[in-house]
A and B are shown apart, each in its own frame.
Chain A
Amino acid sequence: MPIKNPEKRALAPMEGLSLWLKKNLFPDVKSSVLSLVILSLLVKALGGLMNWLVFDAIWEGTAQTCRQGEGACLVFIKEKFLFIIFGFFPRELLWRPTLAMILLIAMCFYSREPKRWNKKILYKWLLLVPLCSWLMYGGLGLERVDIGQWGGLPLTLMLSFIGFVFSYPLGIILALGRTGSLPFARSLCVSYIELIRGVPMISLLFMASFMFPLFLPDGWNLPKLLRAQVAIIMFMSAYMAEIVRAGLSAVDKGQYEAADSLGLNYFQKMRMIILPQALKIVIPPTVNTAIGMFKDTSLVAIIALSDLLMTTKTSLKDATWLGFSVEAYLFVAFIYFIFCYTMSRYASRLEKDFSFGAHS
């Protein structure tokens, strides 16, 4: 086998722990001193953290035991685990949101390979969404669960997932309107996108919470959760639109001209030639926006919807368990981190896959 990269061979002897240490931590005096300083600080900080979180942690007992102990109060997490994850969902029916979440996550995991992206997977998704809604809402043989009782992680996942499913096509429509040739449609899309991007999301949630009821005709009443969902979709579609627009302008001009000269009309041109390329180019930023959306759903806590962050906050108000916020917030931060970090690793993997031209 020919050696493609001669440097690689030259580096081979550097393998092994001691050589790795020499190369990365102690290459010269200045770096070595720096390494030692950082290492000693790290050992101290991590040691303190480990003591608090593991060795001195309190696994069994009551709030009283926790207050007397030195370490993290993991009893609190154990006690409040179900509430933080599921909110006010009826305790005896917890298998339903659990199953819905497992199905959703498994499906996301299954869809991660670009080579599986075809019509079939779309149908599977279209099957999964009503299935999950049925599991959550009930009916057709299952006991009904009121939307007001939904909460915790399933709610956070639902808000971000449905938010993405709706804001993606809306973003495409807005981007097409903005780049299209119809002046009225264009100015409408530009004003919508710029207005939404110029204001904080919380103002839209306030709008959903306080203004939407005024917009509805007499006697109509949407649950607050759905109103917040609409606000999230409205907010995210403007950001999606800008990403899709970047994709549209990144497609080679020749593609537009070729489609035109084939006699395709606007919709055919976009559907068959331009959008498939444009959307593929912007997959990494799209995933990043999805991460942003997942994090931003936590803002519904401000209008008192019981998402994952709000259930945590509520659990901290329990009078017998006051004063364990750090444990609770670290626990939830860990959950959020796992989801977001997985997605961001995925985005950067796709970026690499696509930029090295496996498909082009």
Chain B
Amino acid sequence: MVKHSNASFWNDPKKRAIFFQALLLLAVGAFATLLIINTQSNLAKQNIASGFGFLTQEAGFEISESMIDYWADDTYKLALWVGILNTLKVALIGNVLAIILGVFLGIMRLSSHWLLSKLSQVFIEVMRNTPLLLQLFFWYAILTEIFPSVKEAYEPLPNVFLSQRGLVFPVFAEHIAWPWVKASFFIGIAGCLGLHFWNKRRKMRTGIAYKLGPIMGGVFVLIPLVTWLLLGAPTVVDWPELGGFNFNGGMTITPEFVALVLGLVLYTAAFNAEIVRAGIQSVSKGQWEAARSLGLSQPQALRFVILPQSLRVIIPPMTSQILNLIKNSSLAVGIGYPDFVSVANTTMNQTGQAIEAVVLIMLVYLFFSLSTSLFMNFYNKKTQLITRGAN
């Protein structure tokens, strides 16, 4: 087949490309139009008004746990916010724990100790080869079946109760000071981190590091303490009390939350462990030998030489595991933890606004996914620069 420069329409790749794309555009457009027409006629028939107007209506349902003040007569918008915050809480706690456990399991898997390595392997295989939703059901069943009813709750410590409804423990009663103490606690952590990095940079530059331990401890304790004293040093405690079918007062960690976090952490940690193992194995053996011959112990070699280098292999797949945990937290709806998908599902059932609710779910998770990816890409670039780059 000989191609001519003045080819006919069919034999000119450029024209052909334009034709095919026009065809594709037409097909997609026709399909979308068909869907929209069908949807509009169906909605009209069922008398459902589309749009997000329902967000400002009264939600009318309770949410069992919330990080902000929420009552049944608040709007759907606020209810969905409660859901988003609950999802974020699970995602944050879950990911931190899953990464820590994953690193431990990954290192254990590579241990020269046969039993440790096998134990880790068995755990990883069991977790990876059973569905997450099943695991969540399992943990939830265990938590609600083995613990006694509220009336016969265990009291492992005075005024701390363990029952089917979760762990209830006393907290300080609400007071103007506590939000500020909390805030200053986080400021203390930030301050310590800042000091740590400043000290590290100084050590890099000059080789001399201050012993910051006591100072950091002081910052950590003193800032919240001073805030607490300045704002009136409240000491009133909110004691949990048995009333009717549940405890009143105190703070509750619900079995739904524990089951969800436990399930997500164990499941994701198994995947993380395999990633960490592959990352450590990717560092050449000479690095181990070099580190050992410099007099570093095995743990020191791992900590200062091997792990930092394995990060560049670990971070990209770890990012997708972090995203997986965030997306998998949506399985909360299966065990009744009020995460975003649960709340959106309730909203959908009450208002009939299926399209809007599903679109909202997708948008929120897309936002989570994209922002996590952006942050991890930034972190990835940073670790790539610190290491020697590609070998």
Name A's B-contacting residues (CB within 8 A): 24-25, 31, 34-35, 38-39, 42, 181-185, 188, 195, 197-203, 206-207, 210-211, 213-218, 263, 291, 295-296, 298-299, 301-302, 309, 313, 323, 325-326, 329-330, 332-333, 336-337, 340-341, 344
Whether A332 contacts B134 in the complex (CB less than 8 A), given A210-B348, A214-B354, A323-B145, comes out as: yes
Of chain A, the residue at the smallest CB distance from B362 is: A199
Q: Is the CB of A182 within 8 A of B327?
A: no
Whether A210 contacts B354 in the complex (CB less than 8 A), given A184-B24, A295-B132, comes out as: yes
Q: Is the CB of A301 within 8 A of B355?
A: no
Residues of A within 8 A of B86 (CB): none
The smallest C-beta distance from A163 to any residue of chain B, in angstroms, reads 14
Whether A215 contacts B39 in the complex (CB less than 8 A), given A203-B341, A337-B126, comes out as: yes
Whether A188 contacts B361 in the complex (CB less than 8 A), given A213-B42, A214-B39, A295-B131, comes out as: no
**Contact residues of B between 308 and 347, Cβ < 8 Å to A:** 327-328, 330-331, 333-334, 341, 345
Q: Is the CB of A200 within 8 A of B365?
A: yes
Residue among A31, A210, A263, A298 making CB contact with B133, cutoff 8 Å:
A298
Residue among B129, B331, B334, B362 making CB contact with A291, cutoff 8 Å:
B129
The reply to whether the CB of B197 lies closer than 8 angstroms to some CB of chain A is: no
Of chain B, the residue at the smallest CB distance from A333 is: B130
Residue among A200, A296, A301, A326 making CB contact with B141, cutoff 8 Å:
A326
Residues of A within 8 A of B366 (CB): 195, 198-199
Residues of A within 8 A of B35 (CB): 215
Whether A341 contacts B129 in the complex (CB less than 8 A), given A184-B25, A332-B134, comes out as: yes
Whether A337 contacts B130 in the complex (CB less than 8 A), given A31-B113, A184-B24, comes out as: yes
Of chain B, the residue at the smallest CB distance from A323 is: B145
Given the complex of chains A and B, what is the CA–CA distance between A88 and B145 in angstroms? 27
The reply to whether the CB of B100 lies closer than 8 angstroms to some CB of chain A is: no
Q: Is the CB of B141 within 8 A of A214?
A: no
Residues of B within 8 A of A299 (CB): 133, 331
Given the complex of chains A and B, what is the CA–CA distance between A31 and B114 in angstroms? 10
Residues of B within 8 A of A301 (CB): 133, 334
**Contact residues of B between 87 and 135, Cβ < 8 Å to A:** 113-116, 119, 125-126, 128-135
Q: Is the CB of B134 within 8 A of A309?
A: yes
Instruction: Report, nearest first, the 4 A-B pairs whose CB atoms are least far apart.
Output: A325-B141, A24-B114, A340-B129, A210-B354
Residues of B within 8 A of A332 (CB): 134
Given the complex of chains A and B, what is the CA–CA distance between A318 and B113 in angstroms? 47
Given the complex of chains A and B, what is the CA–CA distance between A198 and B330 in angstroms? 13
Of chain A, the residue at the smallest CB distance from B42 is: A214
Q: Is the CB of A336 within 8 A of B129?
A: yes
Residues of B within 8 A of A183 (CB): 21
Residues of A within 8 A of B210 (CB): none
Q: Is the CB of A206 within 8 A of B331?
A: no
The smallest C-beta distance from B242 to any residue of chain A, in angstroms, reads 23
Q: Is the CB of B133 within 8 A of A302?
A: yes
Whether A210 contacts B358 in the complex (CB less than 8 A), given A38-B119, A298-B131, comes out as: yes
The smallest C-beta distance from A93 to any residue of chain B, in angstroms, reads 28
The reply to whether the CB of B369 lies closer than 8 angstroms to some CB of chain A is: yes
12 pairs of residues in contact across A and B, judged by CB atoms under 8 Å = A184-B25, A185-B20, A195-B362, A197-B369, A198-B366, A200-B365, A202-B330, A213-B42, A216-B38, A295-B131, A309-B133, A326-B141
Q: Is the CB of B145 within 8 A of A206?
A: no
Whether A35 contacts B113 in the complex (CB less than 8 A), given A206-B361, A298-B134, comes out as: yes
Residues of B within 8 A of A313 (CB): 137
Residues of B within 8 A of A199 (CB): 327, 361-362, 365-366, 369
The reply to whether the CB of B28 lies closer than 8 angstroms to some CB of chain A is: yes
Given the complex of chains A and B, what is the CA–CA distance between A313 and B133 in angstroms? 11
Residues of B within 8 A of A216 (CB): 38, 42
Q: Is the CB of B116 within 8 A of A38?
A: yes
Residue among A203, A215, A336 making CB contact with B330, cutoff 8 Å:
A203
Of chain A, the residue at the smallest CB distance from B132 is: A295
When A and B form their complex, what is the total count of cross-chain residue pairs whose Cβ atoms lie within 8 Å?
149
Given the complex of chains A and B, what is the CA–CA distance between A332 and B328 in angstroms? 20
The reply to whether the CB of B1 lies closer than 8 angstroms to some CB of chain A is: yes
Residue among B17, B126, B131, B135 making CB contact with A296, cutoff 8 Å:
B131
Residues of A within 8 A of B133 (CB): 298-299, 301-302, 309
Given the complex of chains A and B, what is the CA–CA distance between A341 and B361 in angstroms? 33
Whether A200 contacts B354 in the complex (CB less than 8 A), given A217-B38, A329-B134, comes out as: no
Given the complex of chains A and B, what is the CA–CA distance between A195 and B367 in angstroms? 11
Residue among A35, A42, A185, A333 making CB contact with B21, cutoff 8 Å:
A185
Of chain B, the residue at the smallest CB distance from A334 is: B130
**Contact residues of B between 334 and 389, Cβ < 8 Å to A:** 334, 341, 345, 348, 354-355, 357-358, 361-362, 365-366, 369-370
Q: Is the CB of B129 within 8 A of A344?
A: yes
Q: Is the CB of A215 within 8 A of B38?
A: yes
Q: Is the CB of B365 within 8 A of A336?
A: no
19 more contacts with CB within 8 A, not counting A215-B38, A329-B141, A336-B134, are A181-B17, A184-B25, A188-B28, A198-B362, A198-B366, A199-B361, A199-B362, A201-B327, A202-B341, A210-B354, A214-B42, A214-B355, A295-B129, A295-B132, A298-B131, A301-B334, A309-B131, A337-B129, A340-B128
Q: Is the CB of B24 within 8 A of A34?
A: no
Residues of B within 8 A of A202 (CB): 330-331, 333, 341
Residues of B within 8 A of A329 (CB): 134, 137-138, 141
Residues of A within 8 A of B142 (CB): 325-326
Of chain B, the residue at the smallest CB distance from A216 is: B38
Q: Which of B35, B42, B137, B327 has the most CB atoms of chain A within a 10 A radius of its CB?
A: B137
Residues of A within 8 A of B361 (CB): 199-200, 203, 206
Whether A326 contacts B115 in the complex (CB less than 8 A), given A184-B24, A301-B334, comes out as: no
Q: Which of A201, A206, A337 has the most CB atoms of chain B within a 10 A radius of its CB?
A: A206
Bitwise, B183-210 to A at CB < 8 A (1) or not (0) is 0000000000000000000000000000
Residues of B within 8 A of A341 (CB): 125, 129
Whether A309 contacts B137 in the complex (CB less than 8 A), given A199-B327, A214-B355, comes out as: yes
The smallest C-beta distance from B365 to any residue of chain A, in angstroms, reads 5
Q: Is the CB of A198 within 8 A of B365?
A: yes
Of chain A, the residue at the smallest CB distance from B370 is: A198
Whether A333 contacts B138 in the complex (CB less than 8 A), given A198-B369, A298-B131, comes out as: yes
Of chain A, the residue at the smallest CB distance from B140 is: A325
Residues of B within 8 A of A206 (CB): 345, 348, 354, 357-358, 361
